[in-house]
Amino acid sequence: MKKAGILGGGQLGRMLLQSAANYPVETFVMENDLNCPAAHLCHHFTKGDITSFDDVYNFGKGLDVLTIEIESVNEDALEKLEAEGVKIYPKPAALRIIKNKILQKQFYKTNEVPTSDFIITQNAAELGANASFLPAVHKLATGGYDGRGVQVIKKAEDVALGFNAPSVLEKMVHIKKEIAIMIAVSPKGETAIYPPVDMVFDPKLNLLCYQISPADIPEKVFWKAEAIALRVVKELKSPGIFAVELFVDIDDNVLVNETAPRVHNSGHHTIEGNYSSQFDMLWRVLLDYPLGNTDPILPAAIVNLLGSEGFNGPALYEGLNEILTMDNVFVHLYGKTHTKPGRKMGHITILSSEKQELLHKANQILHTLLVKSG
């Protein structure tokens, strides 16, 4: 049986392990927190720091294949492991590009992948000197996550909001829609592409609020988005699963925002909504089996279950009974015992052939199911 390791033990690792049960594989997880969502679902848990060279190297030695559920891992250790014969999907070279927003934007430019114009700023002074580029979005090169490390700067008086560290200053896109496309790449270079999803964000928390798949976009936009997403993964030259996040602007131009080299929130609906889920698909890649069928079974919506404002402590799920009586509604809790405002505690998938029903149920769930603390 192959030995497969996952760096990071959050909810993505947890859902990946739920799919691992269908395959002949011995699973290993490394994470600092003994009570992380994935800790109790793997065969072997190692407490360790995924950013530490020694911890990652020692964890990966002797494994057949290693993947990640978060980008902030020590890629030097991954490179050494790869040189010693451990399969690392995504490849460390692709991960290095994606981890750094400066390298990622330069990668798009070099490979003629449409993306918003940008300049690189090393510090606050350089940002101040480029006020003519505003309005723009300032993004920290490294260390940002889920909206932290991203700052909108509309006018010269606001430059103090920017970062005094290496960053990308991106032209503000007049966004009509944000969509995402998941693509799997096998070790042989075959690809399997999922239908695009519409992502709707919570403007306050900058977190995904709900999403609908397939996205409601004109055919022309669909073809552009697919071609662009395929180009991104082709140029990254790495097996794995990738989420390509795209902007559709008011003129129907399609621009890449960013790419995640791993299973992703925008693919959670695939657990019930598609024949092969993103988690099932990643096991096929990791274990070098044929890729799965990405076709949708039914259109799907996802609601993120976030910790309610004003509650910080042991999690209580209000409204769960009502949600569990709803047809074609699937609850996924991430096993986090402690809630805090905006924390991702779970997600709910809704299936229906009627878009109106998806939206109606999504709104109902957003208002009924709340994570509080007693």
Q: Which is nearer to ligand ADP, 177 or 361 (CB)?
A: 177
Of the candidates 89, 25, 79, 42, the residue with the CA atom closest to the CA atom of residue 57: 79
With tokens 């294949």, the residue in question is 65
Q: Determine if 175 is a binding residue for ligand ADP (CB under 6 A).
A: yes
Antiparallel, parallel or unpaired: β 329-333 and 344-351: antiparallel
To ligand ADP, the closest distance from the beta carbon of 135 in angstroms equals 9
Query: 347: part of which helix (H) or strand (E)?
Result: strand 344-351
What does the alpha-carbon distance between residue 332 and residue 12 come to, in Å, rounded to a whole number? 12
Q: Which is nearer to ligand ADP, 76 or 146 (CB)?
A: 146
Of the candidates 312, 319, 352, the residue with the CA atom closest to the CA atom of residue 336: 312
Q: Determine if 147 is a binding residue for ligand ADP (CB under 6 A).
A: yes
Neighbouring C-alpha atoms within 13 Å toward the C-beta of 49: 4
To ligand ADP, the closest distance from the beta carbon of 144 in angstroms equals 5
Contact region with ligand ADP (CB under 6 A), list: 140-148, 155-163, 265-273, 325-333: 140-148
To ligand ADP, the closest distance from the beta carbon of 116 in angstroms equals 4
Q: Determine if 172 is a binding residue for ligand ADP (CB under 6 A).
A: yes
To ligand ADP, the closest distance from the beta carbon of 175 in angstroms equals 6
> What residues numbered 195-224 form the site for ligand ADP, per CB under 6 A?
201, 206
To ligand ADP, the closest distance from the beta carbon of 148 in angstroms equals 6
The secondary structure of 130-176, three-state, reads: CHHHCCEEEEECCCCECCECEEEECCHHHHHHCCCCCEEEEECCCEE
Contact region with ligand ADP (CB under 6 A), list: 37-45, 172-180, 286-294, 335-343: 172-180
Binders of ligand ADP: how many residues, by CB under 6 A?
Answer: 18
What does the alpha-carbon distance between residue 278 and residue 213 come to, in Å, rounded to a whole number? 14
Q: Determine if 75 is a binding residue for ligand ADP (CB under 6 A).
A: no
Residues in the chain: 374
Q: Determine if 178 is a binding residue for ligand ADP (CB under 6 A).
A: yes
Contact region with ligand ADP (CB under 6 A), list: 69-77, 78-86, 119-127, 168-176: 168-176
> What residues numbered 248-307 form the site for ligand ADP, per CB under 6 A?
257-258
To ligand ADP, the closest distance from the beta carbon of 179 in angstroms equals 11
What does the alpha-carbon distance between residue 324 and residue 322 come to, in Å, rounded to a whole number? 5
Q: Is the dihedral of CA 279, 285, 291, 294 positive or negative?
A: positive
Neighbours of 202 (CB within 10 A): 15
Q: Which is nearer to ligand ADP, 61 or 148 (CB)?
A: 148
The binder of ligand ADP chosen from 146, 190, 309, 318 (CB under 6 A): 146
DSSP string, 280-321: HHHHHHHTTPPP----BSS-EEEEEEEBPTT--EEEEEETHH
To ligand ADP, the closest distance from the beta carbon of 152 in angstroms equals 7
To ligand ADP, the closest distance from the beta carbon of 260 in angstroms equals 8
Query: 201: part of which helix (H) or strand (E)?
Result: strand 197-202
Contact region with ligand ADP (CB under 6 A), list: 167-175, 224-232, 236-244, 333-341: 167-175
Q: Which is nearer to ligand ADP, 259 or 274 (CB)?
A: 259
What does the alpha-carbon distance between residue 361 and residue 370 come to, in Å, rounded to a whole number? 15
User: Which residues neighbour 364 within 8 Å (Cβ) at sequence distance 6 or greater?
Assistant: 326
To ligand ADP, the closest distance from the beta carbon of 227 in angstroms equals 21
The binder of ligand ADP chosen from 7, 113, 173, 323 (CB under 6 A): 173
To ligand ADP, the closest distance from the beta carbon of 86 in angstroms equals 28
Q: Which is nearer to ligand ADP, 200 or 298 (CB)?
A: 200
Q: Determine if 144 is a binding residue for ligand ADP (CB under 6 A).
A: yes
Query: Could you report how far apart the first and last alpha carbons of the chain are, in Å?
Result: 45
Name the site residues for ligand ADP (rule: CB under 6 A).
116, 137, 139, 144-147, 149-150, 170, 172-173, 175, 178, 201, 206, 257-258
